[in-house]
């Protein structure tokens, strides 16, 4: 079973994020779910992003790096939207990463190194018409990652929602979220 370090999205550590972690745990995986916002949860993505900007994205990334300290090698690094930043950094730079799950976010590989590590499988998930994922460059970065990495998959879902896999958000899409969860569980079973 996999040992997963899962980073939350801009809303914070919502009940939906806890629920997703619970699904992974029910399948036998160990999930570490750090709170990068020190207990703050936001109703809207805009409020959460404003809070992240106030804290500083560099600070959030460092909080993510600190959350990994003391955890064993062989982690699957997972991030949801904003949480992709620390997850992707750790997947690219922390020795022994077992895999990466980038949900509704992806940054160019060059942000954290020259190339994606060849021995780290990765899945990227997002909605094909999501104005954040598709409209702000994440989809382009995901396509480039998939072209350059030996074990990389991109899964696009029909729709235009950001936050589609979190059941505690109004943007939740039950059908797409169920398919994402099925694919994530299959990935965790093979890494």
* Cβ within 8 Å of residue 115, ≥6 positions away: 109, 148
What is the per-residue pLDDT across 59-74, written as a single tens digit (0 to 9) for each?
999 999 999 999 999 9
Contact between 63 and 39 (Cβ < 8 Å): no
Q: What is the CATH number of the domain that holds 110?
A: 3.40.50.1820
* Domains: count for the chain: 1
HSE value, Cβ hemisphere, 13 Å, CA-based, for 98: 17
Residue with tokens 């404003």: 50
Residues in the chain: 191
DSSP for 27-62? Answer: TT-EEE---TTTT-B-SSHHHHHHHHHHH-HHHHHH
Domain span holding position 98? 3-190
Choose among 49, 42, 50, 104: nearest CA to 78. Answer: 104
Model confidence pLDDT, tens digit, residues 114-170 = 999 999 999 999 999 999 999 999 999 999 999 999 999 999 999 999 999 999 999
């Amino acid at each position: 079973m996999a040992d997963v370090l899962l980073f939350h999205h801009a809303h914070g550590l919502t009940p939906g994020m806890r629920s997703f972690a619970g699904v992974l745990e029910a399948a036998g995986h160990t999930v570490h779910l750090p709170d990068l916002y020190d207990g703050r949860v936001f109703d809207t993505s805009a409020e959460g992003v404003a809070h992240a900007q106030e804290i500083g994205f560099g600070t959030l990334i460092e909080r993510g790096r600190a959350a990994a300290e003391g955890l064993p090698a062989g982690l699957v690094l997972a991030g949801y939207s904003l949480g992709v930043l620390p997850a992707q950094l750790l997947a690219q730079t922390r020795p022994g990463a077992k895999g990466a799950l980038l949900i509704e976010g992806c940054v160019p590989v060059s942000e954290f190194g020259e190339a994606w590590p060849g021995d780290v499988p990765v899945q990227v998930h997002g909605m094909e018409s999501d104005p954040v994922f598709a409209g702000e460059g994440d989809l382009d970065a995901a396509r480039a990652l998939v072209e350059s990495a030996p074990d990389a998959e991109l899964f696009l879902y029909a729709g235009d929602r950001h936050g589609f896999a979190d059941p505690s958000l109004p943007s939740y899409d039950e059908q797409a979220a169920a398919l994402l969860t099925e694919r994530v569980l299959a990935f965790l079973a093979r890494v």
